[in-house]
Amino acid sequence: MIILGIDPGLQKTGWGLIESEGHALQFIGCGLIKTNPAEGLAQRLSALHRGLAKVMEQGVPDMAAVEETFVNRNPASALKLGQARGVCLTVPALYDIPVAEYAANKIKKSIVGAGHADKAQMGMMVRTLLPTCGAIGEDEADALAVAITHAHYGSSVSYKLGVNS
């Protein structure tokens, strides 16, 4: 099963593709979709949509998983992140790909074993689990961590998604 992990953001959205077969994980690819902060919100969301659509067309995943948003102190930032996250949920759905969501603490616990791991710990463990990914940034590592988490827990959420796996 090919899994697309997405770490949503309005400025930068990380994505990562892995293949999961039994307990074996294989790195396929990862990247970053950046939007131009000088553009309006609609243009930035459109750029995010186009970038994710390009990933979908190139990678052809069987499943997608998106990190849930944590509560932000700044309501305006939280709203913008929520809109970007909406795009991240919608694009795979437009390709008839089931989409799962995972809380940040669950992802961290799945990868590191502790729900409050820092970015450095997450990156190190992702590189350990997927040694062929090479040097990757934090957003790509986070996206790959979302995909790995889905590889671990995907069978338990597939019923909710109506997927026959």
Token pair for 116: 């409050």
Q: Reply yes or no on whether 67 is catalytic.
A: yes
Q: Which of 101, 139, 140, 142 is catalytic?
A: 139
Q: Reply yes or no on whether 139 is catalytic.
A: yes
Q: Which of 21, 39, 57, 67 is catalytic?
A: 67
Sign of the torsion formed by the C-alpha atoms of 117, 121, 126 and 128: negative
* CA nearest neighbour of 143 among 29, 24, 20, 49: 29
Task: Specify the DSSP class assigned to residue 131.
Answer: G
Contact 144, 30 (CB under 8 A): yes
Q: Reply yes or no on whether 7 is catalytic.
A: yes
Token pair for 114: 């502790």
Distance CA 24, CA 123 (A): 19
Backbone angles phi, psi at 135, to 5 degrees: -80, 120
**Active site residue ranges:** 7, 67, 139
